[in-house]
């Protein structure tokens, strides 16, 4: 996908929010967009998603299926979470059952009967993420994904991004706090003074560590992640485990 001389402003006589953007995202690539508040990261992501149209220039070769998670999920809609996800899957031409995979993986099963407007902010963000992932997008766009999401979902982001890119998809994420430093192989763009430039990745922390796997009841997953983090541990991932328990038979 290519930004080909893209200029954008929000009103006819306003200053340009983005000027002369030329940038390429290759298949299988992850791009992290850095920049201070108000620099234009969300604007760039919405141009990539096709939600905004350039004033000049064009975004070319966008994959046919785009999953976009805005910074804030618009929860003021008259559906339950389950209804919303199944309807959105149908509207986008996917099997509604595909939504169920993400409902389960993002630990949303207990929330499917809740109205969107009654969900907590973090759960609503997960519904937005499930919506974007249904149908296996060739371009996944996550606007500040670390901001609203709960602890479990945050650990899933690198895993989900890796799955999208492993099959030749592209991922575009914005990050104003440098939390995406751990996305392996990502390239970084910086939005400064209305222009977009490649920039160096923030340095990754050095390690001399071991990985310990633990299991907890599904309902306690979020609390466990929060506690482990609070104790100074790095939580690398959360996955669903089905079937009889093994490995603790002593």
Ligand X SMILES: Nc1ncnc2c1ncn2[C@@H]1O[C@H](COP(=O)(O)OP(=O)(O)OP(=O)(O)O)[C@@H](O)[C@H]1O
| Interface residue list for ligand X (CB under 6 A) | 10, 17, 35, 37-43, 71, 176
Nearest residue (CB) to ligand X, 125 versus 134: 125
Alpha carbon distances (Å) from 138 to 50, 113, 238: 14, 29, 24
Nearest residue (CB) to ligand X, 37 versus 231: 37
Work out how close the CB of 67 gets to ligand X at its nearest, in angstroms, rounded to a whole number. 18
Q: Going by DSSP bridges, is the β-strand pair 2-8/18-24 parallel, antiparallel, or unpaired? A: antiparallel
- Tell the residue number behind the tokens 């209804």, with chain if given: 83
Nearest residue (CB) to ligand X, 38 versus 198: 38
Nearest residue (CB) to ligand X, 40 versus 138: 40
CA 32 to chain centre: 11
Alpha carbon distances (Å) from 27 to 62, 151, 159: 11, 29, 17
Give the sign of the dihedral formed by CA 12, CA 13, CA 16, CA 22.
Answer: positive
Work out how close the CB of 39 gets to ligand X at its nearest, in angstroms, rounded to a whole number. 4
Work out how close the CB of 150 gets to ligand X at its nearest, in angstroms, rounded to a whole number. 20
Nearest residue (CB) to ligand X, 99 versus 173: 173
Work out how close the CB of 189 gets to ligand X at its nearest, in angstroms, rounded to a whole number. 12
Work out how close the CB of 170 gets to ligand X at its nearest, in angstroms, rounded to a whole number. 19
Taken as a whole, the chain contains a residue count of 250
Report the C-alpha gap between 54 and 39 in whole angstroms: 17
- Are 38 and 97 in contact by the 8 Å Cβ rule? The answer is no
């Amino acid at each position: 996908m290519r930004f080909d001389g893209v200029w954008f402003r929000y009103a006819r006589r306003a200053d340009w929010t983005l000027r002369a953007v030329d940038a390429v995202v290759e298949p299988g690539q992850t791009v992290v967009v850095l920049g201070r508040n108000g620099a234009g990261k969300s604007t760039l992501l919405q141009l990539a998603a096709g939600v905004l149209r350039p004033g000049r220039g064009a975004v070319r070769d966008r994959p046919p299926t785009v999953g976009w998670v805005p910074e804030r999920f618009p929860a003021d809609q008259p559906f339950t979470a389950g209804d919303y996800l199944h309807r959105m899957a149908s509207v986008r031409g996917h099997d509604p059952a595909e939504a169920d995979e993400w409902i389960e993986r993002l630990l949303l099963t207990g929330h499917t009967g809740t109205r969107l407007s009654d969900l907590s902010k973090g759960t609503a963000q997960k519904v937005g993420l499930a919506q974007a992932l249904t149908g296996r997008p060739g371009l996944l766009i996550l606007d500040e994904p670390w901001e609203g999401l709960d602890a479990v979902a945050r650990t899933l982001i690198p895993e989900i991004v890796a799955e999208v890119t492993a099959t030749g998809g592209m991922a575009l994420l914005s990050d104003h706090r440098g939390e995406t430093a751990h996305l392996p192989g990502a390239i970084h763009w910086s939005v400064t003074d209305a222009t977009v430039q490649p920039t160096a990745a923030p340095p990754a922390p050095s390690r001399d560590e071991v990985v310990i796997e633990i299991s907890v009841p599904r309902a306690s997953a979020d609390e466990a992640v929060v506690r482990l983090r609070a104790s100074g541990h790095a939580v690398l991932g959360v996955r669903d485990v089905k079937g009889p328990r093994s490995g603790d038979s002593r």
